[in-house]
Amino acid sequence: MQSSVFAEIQRKFLSSRSPYRDLAWSLLLWGVALILLTSGLEQLPLRDWDEGTVAQVAREIWQHPDAWLHPTLHGQPYLNKPPLLHNLIALSYHSFGSADEGAARLPGAILTATSVPLLYYLGRELWPHRAAAIWASIVYLTWLPVVRYGRLAMLDGTVLCFWLLWMLCLLRTRRNLSYALGVGIALGLVGLTKGIMLAVLFGAISLGFVLWDTPRLLTHPWFWLGITLGAVPLGAWYLAQWTYYGQDFLIENLLNQSAHRVWQAVENNSGPPWYYLLELLKYGFPALIFVPAALKRVWQEQNLSWARLLLVWGGGYLAAISLMGTKLPWYSLPLYPALALAVGVILADIWQQFQQQGHPSRDPRPRYPQWWLWGFIVMALIAWVGAAIRATSVMESGVLDPERVHLTVTLLAAAMTFTMTASLIAQRNPMMPIVLFWGWLISLLLFVNSFDWLWELNEDYPVKPVATMIREKTQGQPIYTSHPYDRPSLNFYANRPIISADPHQLYQKWHGNEPICLLLDYDSFDQLDLDPEAIVEFPPDWLLLCHAGQGTIGTPTRSQEWGLPPS
């Protein structure tokens, strides 16, 4: 009896043609992705710009549920992006009972993790053999930009999930037209996450692939009907916004926040046409070392559907974002699934060599390119040197600082992984991909549980202590700061906008008749020549000054308590 049950389980899960095996692989990949993308989300504060803004809009939806359709940012209409992810984060706040980092990042992280099994099923549509789909999913999961941005309370990891759902449904439409409805639903989800301009770009890429690979689909009315029905919610949302806000919505959302990014650098975010190639060179390793061979393979097999898809997808999207005036690092994220699929083919060939061991008529040892060996030697040396520098710094400090120790351990894991990989390449060992990506996965897991995975936090002062001071020491007055630009993360933690102003504006505001607070650095305080008795508190590097209007001091004088000279 037990043997028959075991045989049935083996038949279902291990048979190469069994759907149960696909289900098992997809669940395994999803579980690993969830661990990597959701581990330690609450450890670090929110970063500026997208995270701070998205988290604040979501909090206002949570506090005022009737704003789910017409959200606000600090009480003002929020017209930047559609609020799909913002509403999901608001539900997360409701579930956890608080608006914190973990609750803000969790929905996007789960959706990004879900994109991993979607990529696996996409690969299964492209190839009859499972190995390429598995390796493509592993490469995609372990790409640093996907992991980092997927863990943030940003829109781009969510877009990856819906874009892969879109492409999966598009491929299945070739044999079942009912999946056209799924294409339309995914189109609507992309548009409700990032806006209609991205949906149009993805639509152009999809149309290019269908024209090249399966033009007969374009003649089926059911194909267009399914897409149209699925996209109805997106059209309904835009109609609702236009009806509610009128021309202001069209100008702000469609023009200022969408179309303008095509031909001009919004908020000075510009770069050369090769900007995204540099981003790939900076953060694409170690899998980037396989990309040249993968692209060569794609070009050689462009008569096949999978190669056509990757050429249109990768080439079309890269050309579009490279020609745009506005350039931001996370715009490149939709390239990584396409590159992962291409690399998956190369790694599947190596895996096939491993499976053929024992066949006397075949050479079981793959022939790796020589530059792969030198590439991993260089990466290993860089990781060893980095680990040595960090370890020396820890020993010289005499204190086991968790921040430094975590990064040291991560660098050691990466160094050992790259060293073993180089050794296996030199030995022509087909186990190389397994060792490389298992070791890199462990390194990434250590990295995301360190204090260094969100390194942008080191670019400016910590906002949490300043925000705590603002919440405790002010009574709702407008707050202006000498900092050169607004910080959405500070606004989120202070739960109010802190407005950046130049010295002339600060002087005028302070000498007006309205209650006001100023958040100043010491140089600005000296430059403005303000009364020290107005100081409410001063954390490191900052001074908080308040008055209640008409030149009066809004709180008891703190000059003697804080060791300042009396005025």
What residue ranges of the chain have pLDDT lower than 70?
Answer: 1-18, 354-366, 398-401, 403, 537-539, 549-567
Say if residue 286 is preceded by a cis peptide, omega within 30 of 0: yes
Q: How far apart (Å, rounded) are the C-alpha atoms in residues 163 and 317?
A: 12
Phi, psi of 143 (to 5 degrees): -85, 125
**How high does pLDDT run on average in the chain?**
87
Task: List, for residues 204-263, the tens digit of each pLDDT value.
Answer: 999 999 999 999 999 999 999 999 998 999 999 999 999 999 988 888 888 887 777 888
Give residue 562's pLDDT: 33
E strands along 204-247, which residues?
none
3-state secondary structure of 313: helix
Residue with tokens 């910590």: 462
Task: List, for residues 441-484, the tens digit of each pLDDT value.
Answer: 999 999 999 888 999 998 888 999 899 888 888 888 899 999 98
Give residue 394's pLDDT: 75
Q: How far apart (Å, rounded) are the C-alpha atoms in residues 342 and 297?
A: 8
Six-digit token string for 119:
């990529």
> Which helix (H) or strand (E) covers residue 77, if one does?
strand 76-77
Calculate what percentage of the chain has a pLDDT beyond 90: 64
Give residue 357's pLDDT: 55
Give residue 365's pLDDT: 67
Task: List, for residues 404-415, the tens digit of each pLDDT value.
Answer: 788 889 999 999
Give residue 8's pLDDT: 52
Six-digit token string for 345:
């083919």
3-state secondary structure of 547: strand
Q: Residues 205-213: contacts with CB within 8 Å, 24+ apart?
A: 205/312, 205/313, 205/316, 205/317, 206/166, 206/167, 206/170, 208/312, 208/316, 209/170, 209/308, 209/309, 209/312, 209/313, 210/170, 212/308, 212/312, 213/305, 213/308, 213/309
Contact 167, 153 (CB under 8 A): no
Q: How far apart (Å, rounded) are the C-alpha atoms in residues 343 and 337?
A: 10
> Which helix (H) or strand (E) covers residue 64, if one does?
none
Q: How far apart (Å, rounded) are the C-alpha atoms in residues 426 and 21?
A: 34
In terms of Cα–Cα distance, which of 401, 490, 489 is closest to 450? Answer: 401
Q: How many helices (H) and strands (E) does the chain have?
A: 26, 7
